[in-house]
Amino acid sequence: MNIYLVGGAVRDQLLDYPHNEKDWVVVGATPDDMIARGYQQVGKDFPVFLHPETKEEYALARTERKTAPGYKGFEVHADVDVTLEDDLMRRDLTINAIARDENGNIIDPFSGIQDIHDRILRHVSPAFSEDPVRILRVARFAARYLHLGFIVADETMQLMKDMVAAGEVDALVPERIWQEMEKALGERSPSRFIEVLRDCGALARILPELDCLFGVPQPEEHHPEIDTGIHTLMVLQQACRLSDDKDVRFAALMHDLGKGTTPREEWPRHIEHEARGADIVLDVCKRLRIPNDYRDLAERTARFHLHYHRALELKPSTLVKTLEQLDAFRKPERFEKFLIASEADARGRPGYENKLFKQGDYFRQAFKAAQSVDIKALVEQGYTNAELAEKIRQQRVKLVSAISK
């Protein structure tokens, strides 16, 4: 039997790009051969084994044949007669269809090295169209390698468009969409993920609430970029500058969904878009089964980001009420993330990227002052229930009132 390092590890070695996971393919072996050598079988749908020492995954070379719509209906063939090239041919992109043998020799039957040199994301074969998850993966790789100059090949983009038109994307389950989306949020340029999905038409199918923002105007005096979709991507880019946290980036992406529901006759104004947007965020998170911590930060950012922008204008009582509504006293870390996402919103406009914004620091000072209320002393004075809550609020307002803006 022969063992090869394949896929991402080889690709990123050739790119001199950081990588962690290693994928191995074994050619010319049976499951019994692997077990006899001490490997532990873990794969259910096809033979995957854990190395007895490193615990890295080793998969028997296999081919796949689509038997049903979507991405679940596949017939897998793994046997000693499956060659390395057979296995590499089933992969999505040429840059992921490169192998290295145990002596360090490169096997590149589909010119992946040339595409790495040319900075092209190109599908290996027409079989790409059998798995709609690959559309999401291409978009994610485009987000990862944008800074290196990678683009999607024209023929691959056309194939992705054809897949969308054929309804393949509609078969994706929520968990798979979110899995790829969450990974993309952790890449260097997640806005590119959104752009590629929009270019091929997939965004309108999996996130129509976001897709419909493109072409919706905003007041030019506040938004020189005018287009709400462009603004949203600029906000996401700023969130990436300010934080590595994926939930912050997700909140930035979701913050203005309400503008997509503004009646055309009200354009370019978007009155009360915050509340509408917050409700849409909840709907999106429910549909895609997005984790609660992402949902809660995104919902609050959508609902209260204008409070951040107007922080210096708010009355102390309104500021304290906002802190309570944000649940800042119980969830201070999430409150800090709200401030970062809201700052990204402020900076996500042409000419505002490096401007000094005082709102965040003022909010932090107000929060610190409000936190200093001695609740234990109030309890000892006999205050309870609603009376205690009102007394705490009064003292918080008094302390916030003393802060200089």
CATH (domain of 258): 1.10.3210
Average pLDDT of every residue of the chain: 95
Residues 190 and 299 placed together within one structural domain of the fold: no
Residues 165 and 150 placed together within one structural domain of the fold: yes
Q: What is the pTM of this model?
A: 0.94
Residues 202 and 220 placed together within one structural domain of the fold: no
Read off the CATH number of the domain in which 80 is found. 3.30.460.10
What is the reported pLDDT for 3?
Answer: 97
Residues 357 and 220 placed together within one structural domain of the fold: yes
Specify the long-range contacts of residues 33-41, CB closer than 8 Å, at least 24 apart: 33/1, 34/58, 34/60
Instruction: Give yes or no for a contact between 229 and 214, defined as CB atoms under 8 angstroms apart.
Output: yes
Read off the CATH number of the domain in which 161 is found. 1.10.110.30
Which of 110, 141, 167 is a domain's end point? 110
pLDDT confidence bin for 391, thresholds 50/70/90: very high
Residues 368 and 308 placed together within one structural domain of the fold: yes
Which of 60, 77, 110 is a domain's end point? 110
pLDDT in tens, 14-73: 999 998 889 999 999 999 999 999 999 997 667 899 999 999 999 999 998 776 665 556
One-letter amino acid at 126 equals P
What is the reported pLDDT for 67?
Answer: 65
293 φ, ψ (degrees, to nearest 5): -65, -35
Residues 217 and 299 placed together within one structural domain of the fold: yes
User: Using omega within 30 degrees of 0 as the cis cutoff, is the peptide bond preceding 126 cis?
Assistant: no
Percent of the residues in the chain that have a pLDDT greater than 90, as a whole number: 93
Residues 225 and 371 placed together within one structural domain of the fold: yes
Beta strands 40-41 and 48-50 are: antiparallel
Which of 80, 110, 140 is a domain's end point? 110
Helix and strand totals (H; E) in the chain: 19, 11
- Name the residue range of residue 366's domain: 207-401
Average pLDDT score over residue span 226-253: 98
Residues 86 and 137 placed together within one structural domain of the fold: no
What is the reported pLDDT for 36?
Answer: 96
Percent of the residues in the chain that have a pLDDT greater than 70, as a whole number: 97
User: Buried b vs exposed e over 315-341: b needs ≥16 C-beta within 10 Å?
Assistant: ebeebbbbbbebebbebeebbbbbbbb
Average pLDDT score over residue span 135-160: 98
pLDDT confidence bin for 197, thresholds 50/70/90: very high
